[in-house]
Structure 1
Amino acid sequence: MSAMVGVTARDLTEADAASAAASSTHWARSYADRIALTDAVALALAVGLAYAVRFPLDGRVDAVVSGEFSPTYMSVSVVLFAAWFTALTVGRTRDRRLVGAGPSEYARVLEVTWHLFAGVAIVAFMFRMEIGRGYLAIAAPLGLGLVLLGRLLWRRQLHRRRDRGLDRSPVLVVGPLHKVGALIKEFHRNPRAGYEVVGVCVSGVAPPRGHQVHGVPVLGTQDDAARVARERGVAAVAVAGSDAMTADAARRLAWDLEGTGVDMALTLSLTDVAGPRVLMRPVNGLPLVYVDEPRFTGSKYVVKSLFDWVGALVITVLVSPLLLVLAVLVKATSRGPVLYKQERIGKDGQPFHMLKFRSMQVDAHEKLEEVLAAEGVTELGAFYKPRNDPRVTPVGRVLRRYSLDELPQLFNVLRGEMSLVGPRPQIEAEVATYDRAAHRRLLVKPGLTGLWQVSGRSSLPPETAMRLDVSYVENWTLFGDVMLLARTLRAVVGRDGAR
């Protein structure tokens, strides 16, 4: 009995809440442990192979670094392994709010690795060590590649589990009734993101008992949020429309969640603005968020053009035998030219002729109105494609199913008319329907692939596809392009949304 002296009901409640919150994120800790083990194996393999290739294993371990300070390469390998693994840990690449997030997680790993090897270069310069370039040239890319590969494989397993309703983080949404619905829809739009809204606490007067928002029960008011979060053992409290919440209320909610292990996330009304354009600076205790204006010229677009041209050239050389085979198939199975040229609208509204392998009959354009009438469509809208198009040839259906008809657009990229990644190029009739937001798609070159393709392609609603394209235009990064190309390959193989 004496052991309970001084323990209050609040202490017990917070202890129980912390236990509940911990159990709700148990999957994240287990997942992070598996990633840590995989990282360690990947780094050990990379450093070990770099050492073995540079210094064949003949029983000697006395190869030394040239320079005034000359440790053995064996000790350098051990230190590099320990420093790399520590950097991945300290750099929060296994943070439970980041793991399984895909591009964000990979970008963090890339950033940490880049900083580590920049630090290695600085240390080598300061101590006048001449570490072998061949050794580093093997260790750095191999280690990075193996770490990313390990995380990709674990992420695929995580997605399979989330598809079955497992390994999701329960979330409590707090905010005005007219705003919580939009946030719930965003959380549930992609189950693989790993969030499941289990309750709502509304600002102001609570609606009648039993009220639900998109199938999620309302469990109380804003003042009840901390208590409900503890009782439900949620992983996070997400405040919808934090601009409608007073600073004092947000601060009190954060205080009430202290010690419970429950995260607090504030959402702003601003959407489709990526991290590189956002700068947060505290001003007298107020977190002031700056949003940089998007730029469509400058050095990063020179890099993008160079990346596009070199990438298109390499891909064209690699797939040239396939291009020849497809050209022969198109020519041998239907009447007409191998390539189909169609005028599309490119950067700054300039028209160009986009190339594709012909997948339709030669008189397809003349039959467009007939096809639209058969599907009950009176007006051609942006991103519209007929679902059952009789103009498509048998070979053309196969080409479209795997997006092989798009391969000749590599020549458009080489001619500077398109990018590897960008908004989908559209015809003049579609561009004529653009509003102000859609016109921003024309500020960059159209792409052979883009966000719309890897997010569902033709199965997406037109407004969603347009929003994704505009988001890409304003938030482009080179790393993002690389990730989109990788996701495109997976989408094509999986035939996601193709027709």
Structure 2
Amino acid sequence: MGHVEIPETDISGPAGLAEAPRPRTGGPRNRSVAPEKVWRAPKTAERDHAERPRARKRPDPRVPLLALTDLLGLGVPAWLVLRAGDQPGPLTAAASAALVWTGVRAARGRYTRGLPGESAGAPHGSLGDWLALIGVLAVLVALTGGGLDPATGVVALVPGLAVAVLAGAAGRWRPAARRGRRVLVVGEAEGLDRAVGLLNSRTDHPYRAVAVVPVGPAAPDCGTPVPGRIAPEFAEDDVSTVLGSAFAHDADLVLVTPGPQLDEDRLRRLAWGLHDGGLALCVLSELSGVAAARVRPAAAAGLTLLHVAPPLRRGAQALLKTVVDRAGAALGLLALAPVFFAVAVAVRLSSPGPVFHRQTRQGLHNRPFTMWKFRTMVADAESRREHLAAVNESEGPMFKMRRDPRVTRIGHALRRTSVDELPQLLNVLRGDMSLVGPRPPLPEEVSRYDERELRRLAVRPGLTGLWQVSGRSDLSWQETVSLDLWYVDNWSMATDMGLLARTVRAVTDGRGAY
């Protein structure tokens, strides 16, 4: 069963199936949804194989345009810079660099449509390509004995990187890119419910489950349309049922949740048919909470293995994080000195008590330290907390209230803008905290942690973090812990830079701050 395609004259499936695109193209899509009735495609054996043309993917017209953009975006500026710098053979050198650039980008998969979770067009992806380009060109110059000035050569390549980053950003802002991928989920009912529930519970990914195809008689409970169903055992119409369901709901990605009824041979046959039909295929792994950058696939003895790299605890990135923390904190304290003075005066005049609030928190490896904040509560707030324990709105060890009566008028404004946290730059400068990381907990909170929650203390606490940009205090305790644990295991400098950028948007939004 190397190829299956739904014939144009087939009217046995859901309404609209004949007009469904085969295969997917970059053009506009028909968003009409088929009537929700369980459908099984006719058995493949009943179809006329001789008259079916083979499904072929049409080439994406954006691919040559992107390659041409890279070629000219690096070649033309490089030629101008080399010529202005009186370098030998500027045209030949620029043309060679442009060809190598497009070759590197092609080799690294920038001209193929990856899964939306892959950041091929992200700035750090283009930067990696650019560094690879410099390495290749350095080897070529050494072998040919070229007389180019290295500094001028590197400067000549910078515009090409800028063009690639801008082109990638433009691609991500296209309506089709922002819409993400429409996903058909295939698997046993329990796996379907889990996969659809997780996909639909969060919005920080580009996948949207539009329909499911259960394997076996059990009915899924995920509330998603069920346009088709396949038998518990292998059947000739497996592929045609999945293809028909995908086309009827305009899905361009099939996500398979493995189980006992989807064995190796059945999954392989399904992959053949889906790829022939122009659909992408993903197989759900039981591995969760691990960033893609930490996973490396390998094959051994006919098995597909996933190597999981350990979290970053030492090495170049850890050292760089420390340097960025200290330098960023020092620059922040200098730049924000006028803000510190203005806020200090406002706090002092608004209510009796000190300007700063000092509190013992637990840091890296559960070591205590003194954390600084601008005071946002009345002076005797700690003694009043016991009387408010009964109205704690958090189900975990953390205490929080939307309308805490201890917060002063100026304190509400400081909390909404997170300005009250700025004195923690002193803690970052001292090394007690980092710019990015889990929030530092109180000792009494840590005393109630279980083993899973204690892992939050495996890294330095941060001034901002993943849960602060994902809802702040509106999140439940378990959601907060899950986000912090993801960061503890998967942080990188690229992640930190992204979270710092998202923090600005979260602060200006103000939601979840109380």
TM-score of the superposed pair, with normalisation by structure 2: 0.79
Deviation at 1:170, TM superposition (A): 2.2
Distance 1:9 1:447 in 2: 53
Distance 1:200 1:47, change over 3 A: same
Distance 1:320 1:147, change over 3 A: farther
In the alignment, which residue of structure 2 is the partner of 1:434?
449
> What SS does the corresponding residue of 1:199 show, helix, strand or coil?
strand
In the alignment, which residue of structure 2 is the partner of 1:341?
358
In the alignment, which residue of structure 2 is the partner of 1:466?
481
In the alignment, which residue of structure 2 is the partner of 1:230?
243
Deviation at 1:25, TM superposition (A): 5.3
Determine if contact 1:21/1:230 at 8 Å carries over to the other structure: no
The counterpart of 1:185, out of the listed 193, 197, 214, is 197
1:406 counterpart = 2:424: no
> What SS does the corresponding residue of 1:219 show, helix, strand or coil?
coil
Determine if contact 1:103/1:480 at 8 Å carries over to the other structure: no
Determine if contact 2:350/2:410 at 8 Å carries over to the other structure: yes
Distance 1:11 1:345, change over 3 A: closer
The one-letter code sitting in structure 2 at the alignment partner of 1:461 is S
Distance 1:257 1:286 in 2: 22
Distance 2:243 2:283 in 1: 18
Matches within 5 A, 1:121-200: 121-141=138-158, 143-145=160-162, 147-149=164-166, 151-152=168-169, 155-156=172-173, 158=175, 167-191=179-203, 193-200=205-212
Distance 1:362 1:433 in 2: 27
The counterpart of 1:325, out of the listed 318, 322, 342, is 342
Determine if contact 2:397/2:445 at 8 Å carries over to the other structure: yes
Distance 1:156 1:346, change over 3 A: farther
The counterpart of 2:282, out of the listed 250, 256, 265, is 265
The counterpart of 1:71, out of the listed 80, 85, 89, is 89
Deviation at 1:39, TM superposition (A): 8.8
In the alignment, which residue of structure 2 is the partner of 1:240?
257
CA offsets 1:246-278 (integer angstroms, 9 cap, x no match): 111111111222311111111111101123332
Mean Cα deviation higher: 267-276 or 311-320: 311-320
Mean Cα deviation higher: 286-295 or 447-456: 286-295
Deviation at 1:139, TM superposition (A): 4.5
Distance 1:384 1:38 in 2: 52
Deviation at 1:290, TM superposition (A): 2.5
Distance 1:140 1:334, change over 3 A: farther
CA offsets 1:44-77 (integer angstroms, 9 cap, x no match): 677766776x57xxxxx47543xxxx322x4433
Distance 2:261 2:345 in 1: 63
Determine if contact 1:371/1:386 at 8 Å carries over to the other structure: no
Deviation at 1:126, TM superposition (A): 2.0
State the Cα RMSD in Å: 3.6
Deviation at 1:145, TM superposition (A): 4.6
The one-letter code sitting in structure 1 at the alignment partner of 2:433 is M
In the alignment, which residue of structure 2 is the partner of 1:395?
410
1:92 counterpart = 2:109: yes
1:205 counterpart = 2:225: no
The one-letter code sitting in structure 2 at the alignment partner of 1:488 is T
Q: Which runs of 5+ in 1 are unaligned?
A: 1-7, 56-60
CA offsets 1:17-52 (integer angstroms, 9 cap, x no match): 99725447546999x877986897688677766776
In the alignment, which residue of structure 2 is the partner of 1:20?
21
Higher relative contact order (CA 8 A, sep 6+): 2
Determine if contact 2:356/2:372 at 8 Å carries over to the other structure: yes
Determine if contact 1:242/1:267 at 8 Å carries over to the other structure: no
User: Between Structure 1 and Structure 2, which shows a larger proportion of helix residues?
Assistant: 1
Mean Cα deviation higher: 478-487 or 133-142: 133-142
Deviation at 1:289, TM superposition (A): 1.8
Deviation at 1:184, TM superposition (A): 0.6
Mean Cα deviation higher: 32-41 or 423-432: 32-41
TM-score of the superposed pair, with normalisation by structure 1: 0.82
Q: Which runs of 5+ in 2 are unaligned?
A: 11-16, 30-56
In the alignment, which residue of structure 2 is the partner of 1:419?
434
Mean Cα deviation higher: 479-488 or 213-222: 213-222
CA offsets 1:262-302 (integer angstroms, 9 cap, x no match): 11111111101123332322112211222234353444422
Percent identity between matched residues is 31
